[in-house]
């Protein structure tokens, strides 16, 4: 079945010949080397010579990713500038920042989702070894309320609000400690400075496999294929704590529907390649694509879902 899908994708890529003459920029709002950046470069390589003669990946970092988003918002809507981003810049930030310089619905045209991933609650050496699951952790927090801290990879991002959701569902007080990325959060988790951390599954895999951390639960609808032995939050008794993140391409608003359609076809075909799928697996992501219409529906639904969660938390991100 997979071979048939790959063949169909390759036959479709690209069926129209080179579409745009000018160099195309794929803006990644995070530093080079992470999963988002690596996947962007693989897709960009496959767009060269088909969708465009030249495709360049540009890392526009700053303001927790907002700098890169703003660059695409202000670009010409000619199909020559694309944003490749994880979901929370489009779905959570509009609720967690009082003044955001972009509107995901008004300023962007959804093109394609290429991958999905889960988050996970991980425990380090500061948590007693007899705490093996989420319910054990909740009971430990009740008994040790002063230690109800959890690490997040950024204030106002998806991991932060997974902790908020868990605290509400379990009826315990959990306090986030915000780090500038997954690496420093995991460093303190491994060092015993903080008992638990909420991270993308891919960031946790090396430390889980080495036995340095325990993963108490994942946030998907079903168990992660990378951690099949670990239950979901729903299986652990918290069915409201379900979060599946996406990675997707967006173009500036007013990009023509024809251009968006051609971009989506090219990007989805590129994401079906063996090296793209392998790259996703390396970073704990699952290849799962959606075109413009389905992507737009997902974006709208996620925006609506996160609004009440962020509002109820009382959190406002720093400008």
Q: Are residues 301 and 194 in the same domain?
A: no
Q: Are residues 28 and 171 in the same domain?
A: no
- Position 155 in a domain: yes
Q: Are residues 110 and 167 in the same domain?
A: no
The residues, ordered by sequence, that sit 6+ positions from 116 with a Cβ below 8 Å of its Cβ are 244, 245, 246, 247, 285, 286, 288
Q: Are residues 109 and 123 in the same domain?
A: no
Kindly report the backbone phi and psi dihedral angles of residue 114, in degrees, each rounded to the nearest multiple of 5, phi listed first. -120, -20
Tokens of 169: 């569902």
Q: Which of 151, 183, 218 is the last residue of a domain?
A: 218
- For residue 45, give its domain range: 2-117+245-313
- Give residue 18's pLDDT: 58
Q: Are residues 90 and 122 in the same domain?
A: no
- Position 225 in a domain: no
Q: Are residues 84 and 20 in the same domain?
A: yes
Q: Are residues 156 and 113 in the same domain?
A: no
- Give residue 133's pLDDT: 96
- Position 224 in a domain: no
Task: For residue range 44-60, list pLDDT tens digits in order.
Answer: 999 998 899 999 999 99
Q: What gap in Å lies between CA 23 and CA 80, rounded to an integer?
A: 7
Q: What gap in Å lies between CA 45 and CA 52, rounded to an integer?
A: 10
196: enclosing H helix or E strand: strand 196-200
Q: Are residues 131 and 207 in the same domain?
A: yes
> How many other β-carbons are positioned within 10 Å of the β-carbon of residue 50?
20
Question: For the chain, what is the domain count?
Answer: 2
Q: Are residues 64 and 161 in the same domain?
A: no
CATH number of the domain where residue 138 is located = 3.40.190.10
Q: Are residues 151 and 162 in the same domain?
A: yes
Q: Are residues 164 and 262 in the same domain?
A: no
Q: What gap in Å lies between CA 106 and CA 85, rounded to an integer?
A: 17
pTM (predicted TM-score) = 0.87
- Position 231 in a domain: no
Measured at the alpha carbon of residue 281, what is the angle toward residues 238 and 289, in degrees to the nearest 5?
80
Residues of the chain with pLDDT under 50: 1-16
For residue 287, which of 277, 279, 295, 278 has the smallest C-alpha distance? 277
Q: Are residues 102 and 23 in the same domain?
A: yes
- Position 187 in a domain: yes
Sign of CA dihedral 126, 128, 131, 137: negative
- Give residue 16's pLDDT: 42
- Position 249 in a domain: yes
- Position 250 in a domain: yes
Kindly report the backbone phi and psi dihedral angles of residue 57, in degrees, each rounded to the nearest multiple of 5, phi listed first. -95, 125
CATH number of the domain where residue 249 is located = 3.40.190.150
Q: What gap in Å lies between CA 71 and CA 204, rounded to an integer?
A: 31
Q: Which of 170, 203, 218 is the last residue of a domain?
A: 218
The residues, ordered by sequence, that sit 6+ positions from 223 with a Cβ below 8 Å of its Cβ are 230, 231, 232, 235
Residues 164/157, Cβ–Cβ less than 8 Å: no
3-state helix, strand, coil in the chain (%, to 5): 45, 20, 35
């Amino acid at each position: 079945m997979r071979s048939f899908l790959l063949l169909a994708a390759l036959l479709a890529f690209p069926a129209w010949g080179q579409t745009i003459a000018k160099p195309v920029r794929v803006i990644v709002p995070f530093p080079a080397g992470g999963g988002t950046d690596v996947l962007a470069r693989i897709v960009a390589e496959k767009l060269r010579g088909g969708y465009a003669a030249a495709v360049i990946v540009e890392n526009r970092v700053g303001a927790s990713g907002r700098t890169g988003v703003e660059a695409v918002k202000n670009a010409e809507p000619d199909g020559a500038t694309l944003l490749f981003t994880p979901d929370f810049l489009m779905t959570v930030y509009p609720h967690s920042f009082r003044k955001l310089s972009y509107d995901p619905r008004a300023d962007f045209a959804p093109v394609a989702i290429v991958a999905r991933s889960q988050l996970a609650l991980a425990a380090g050496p500061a948590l007693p070894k007899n705490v093996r699951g989420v319910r054990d952790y909740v009971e430990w927090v009740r008994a040790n309320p002063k230690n109800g801290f959890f690490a997040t990879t950024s204030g106002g991002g998806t991991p932060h609000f997974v902790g908020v959701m868990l605290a509400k569902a379990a009826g315990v007080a959990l306090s986030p400690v915000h780090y500038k990325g997954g690496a420093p959060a995991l460093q303190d988790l491994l060092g015993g400075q903080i008992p638990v951390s909420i991270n993308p599954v891919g960031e946790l895999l090396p430390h889980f496999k080495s036995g340095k951390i325990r993963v108490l639960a994942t946030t998907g609808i079903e168990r992660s294929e990378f951690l099949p032995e670990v239950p979901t939050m729903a299986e652990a008794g918290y069915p409201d704590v379900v979060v599946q993140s996406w990675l997707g391409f967006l173009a500036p608003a007013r990009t023509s529907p024809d251009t968006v359609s051609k971009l989506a076809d090219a990007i989805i075909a590129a994401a079906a390649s063996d090296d793209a799928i392998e790259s996703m697996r390396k970073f704990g992501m699952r290849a799962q694509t959606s075109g413009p219409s389905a992507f737009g529906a997902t974006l709208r639904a996620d925006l609506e879902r996160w609004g009440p969660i962020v509002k109820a938390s009382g959190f406002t991100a720093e400008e």
